[in-house]
Every structure is written in C-alpha cells, then in structure tokens.
Amino acid sequence: MSSLQPVRGTHDLLPDDSRRHRAVEEAAFAVARRYGFGEIITPIFEFTEVFSRTLGDTSDVVTKEMYSFQDRGGESITLRPEGTAGVARAFISGGLTQNLPLKLFYRGPMFRYERPQKGRQRQFHQIGVELLGVEGPQADIEVIAMGLDVLDALGLKDRVRLELNSLGDAESRATYRQALVAYLSARKDRLSPDSLERLERNPLRVLDSKDEGDKAVVAEAPLLGDYLNEPSRAFFQAVQEGLTAVGVPFILNPKLVRGLDYYSHTAFEFTTTALGAQGTVLAGGRYDGLIGQMGGPATCGIGWAAGVERLSLLLGEVPDPTRPLAVIPMGEAAATEALKLCMRLRRAGFAVEMGYSGNLKKRLARANKMGARAALILGEDELARAVVAVRDLDSGEQQDVALSTLENALGCYR
C-alpha cells in the first residue's frame, strides 16, 4: 500500500472528466424531469441488512462485492453498491407509501469490490430512476422509453441497442426453476464452482454467469420464455407492443436475466459493442416483490440504472461552454487596476481570467488556448487615457473602450 496512491479502482475526476460526468447527469435529470421525476438523495451508506435482504444473499454483489464495516457503535454498515435498495428503504421509512405513484431520479457514487478494468471501478457513479406503484405495462414502456431518451440526449442513441426479456411472475419462475434445475443437475460436471453453488441457492443466476464453461452449458438450457404462464405472457406482449407504438426498437434476448434477486416480468439492458466486455450501459427491470420483501406494504416498481463512467467513455470530449474574457495587464502600474477590473467584471456576470505573467504575445497565446472571447489589454498608455484595448480573439479586431462604459461595450461577450 502506498498512502499517496488513490485506492485501487477509484479515480479522481479532473475538470475535463467531471465536465463530461456532469453533462451525463444533467442530461439524464433534464429528461427525467420531463417525465415528471423528482430527485431523491439518499445516504451513501445504509445498514448492511438493507442490501443483504433485498439483493438476496446469493447475489454476486452481496457475496463478493460489498464494502461493509462495523462503525464505532457496532452497527454493520455498507457503502451502497446500487441505488434501488436505498430508495426502497427511504420509501418505507420516510412514510411515502401513500404518495403513489412515485417517480424518483437519483445520481451518485456506488461502491463494489470488483476487479478494476475499463468501465469497471470500485467507486463508480450511477444515474437511475424508480417508478413505484404502477402495476400495468405502461410503466415499463415509459421507463424504458425514458432510458432511450436519456441516451438520445447524449447523442448515443445509434450506438446502443435495447435487449428485452421477461422473467415472468413468481409462478412462472417457479415452474421454470424446476426445469432449469433438472437440466443443470444433469450437467454438474461442466459447471464452475460458483455456478454449482448458485444451482443450490438461486439457479436462475447461473444464466448470468460470465464463466465460459457455464456459458456453453447455458447455451442449450431451457428458456424462461417457454415457461411463462398466460398473464405473464400477456404482460410481456403488451410491453413489446407499447414499445413499438412509441418507436422504441428492441431485440428479444431470452437469456437476459438481471443480476439481482428481486426482479419480475420486464428485464432490459441497453448495450454497446464499443466498450469491450463492459458493454451494458443502462440496465433495469420490474421489481414487484422488492418492497414487500423489505417489510413494506406490497408495492410494485420498475426502474433502471446507468453507469456514468461507461456513458462518459462513449461521450468523448465535452467542450467547456464558458468562454472567458482575458484581462492582460502590461507593466507594474496596471497590475492592481487589472485586478480591480477582473473583480468588477466578474461581479457584473462575466467569466474573467487574469493573465498573470509573460510578454503580450505569450499572454495572448494563453488567452487563445483557454478559448477566451476577447483580451482586455491594460497598459500604462491605456490607464492614462482611462480606456482598455479590447481585442476580439475570433476576428482579431481591436478597439479602445472607455473604462466607464466597459460593461455595456462588452455586452456581446456575456
């Protein structure tokens, strides 16, 4: 360990990165607002139970990935690995159960002890939405369409595809589970140790395995879609028809299961081929069992979460929209006046950079590099005449402007 290194899997976001990061968050929230979602900000840690009870004690997140510790009061605390459990906890403990339907947007850091690689960190960030209290497939359609609108707002619509599946209701899953267990049990010798354990405790999760041997076995496994009962089939049909009606293209992926235990019916992922193995950028589904399972009143829900870092990787450069004015004092006498001028213009609402050192040519070059709209040159000659030489850095035109009327004259640079 070197205490001056960032912890493995964590990153500092420098201004170019954080601008991209904020652009993703802001674009997502702007879209969510148009769908009537408000922001919820929950704590980044919760009692460990909030996650172990909801994510299920066989999920990868709970068994291998949680950052848990005992606090000084002896409580077991976990840094949140995902957003839904905390939102559900807030829904129950905050007495929001009468406020249905409830539409919530969240953003913020998540923590998972994973093997770091491109698009996979130990501290990463998600944006996400939860729609609580709507039973019908309209909720699924709107929430998925909103996901596509977010990706569209980021200019990524054509670089992703939507994969869709149904996990059916509890009855359908129970029937399927039997068929799957029978199939997998006959092929135990080909399964990874992890999947052997999943087979005992939560066989559906074997479908989600990333192990190559497991994948080969899973390729021939019975499909959940063939075991959906009539209501589940009708629900899935309605979701598909609705998506088509609102112009959201999708492909069916009968192998798509979500990594977490509380999902039912609709499961979906927006994926890209541009990020190597970490191809899922936005993923979600319906979780009708979650809130009841946590001890709240039975309440259905659907939502999604997207990885901000993965979206940022796809986004490329996001230029800084602020084009400042560069104040360039020449000579000792102008230094204090220039400082005063900077302050005066900032207080009047302009973005202003001070050119600190170097000759005029150097300072102009620096002003150009930072994308300044204009340079305000203040030398002894200008001071004596109570003017500033304003050089438009796009056109190269330069003119003297009286100090007293400067704000007006600079109006076009605001």
Residues in contact with ligand ATP by the rule CB under 6 A: 82, 112, 114, 119-121, 124, 126, 259, 278, 280-281, 283, 305-307, 309-310
Q: Which is nearer to ligand ATP, 47 or 67 (CB)?
A: 67
- Is residue 36 exposed (0-12), middle (13-18) or buried (19+ Cβ within 10 Å)? exposed
Give the residue closest to ligand ATP by C-beta. Answer: 307
C-beta of 319: minimal distance to ligand ATP in Å? 24
C-beta of 35: minimal distance to ligand ATP in Å? 19
Q: Are 34 and 152 in contact (CB under 8 A)?
A: no
Paired strand residues for 107: 127
Q: Are 343 and 351 in contact (CB under 8 A)?
A: no
Q: Which is nearer to ligand ATP, 83 or 137 (CB)?
A: 83
Q: Which is nearer to ligand ATP, 65 or 381 (CB)?
A: 65
Q: Which is nearer to ligand ATP, 18 or 368 (CB)?
A: 18
Q: Is 352 helix (H, G, I), strand (E, B) or coil?
A: strand
C-beta of 357: minimal distance to ligand ATP in Å? 41
Q: Which is nearer to ligand ATP, 195 or 374 (CB)?
A: 195
Amino acid at 195: S
C-beta of 185: minimal distance to ligand ATP in Å? 26
Q: Are 293 and 262 in contact (CB under 8 A)?
A: yes
C-beta of 246: minimal distance to ligand ATP in Å? 23
Amino acid at 122: R
C-beta of 128: minimal distance to ligand ATP in Å? 8
Report the distance separating Cα 241 and Cα 243, nearest Å: 6
Q: Which is nearer to ligand ATP, 163 or 382 (CB)?
A: 163
Q: What is the CA radius of gyration of the chain?
A: 28
Report the distance separating Cα 309 and Cα 205, nearest Å: 26
Q: What tokens were used for 379?
A: 């030398």
Q: Is 225 helix (H, G, I), strand (E, B) or coil?
A: helix
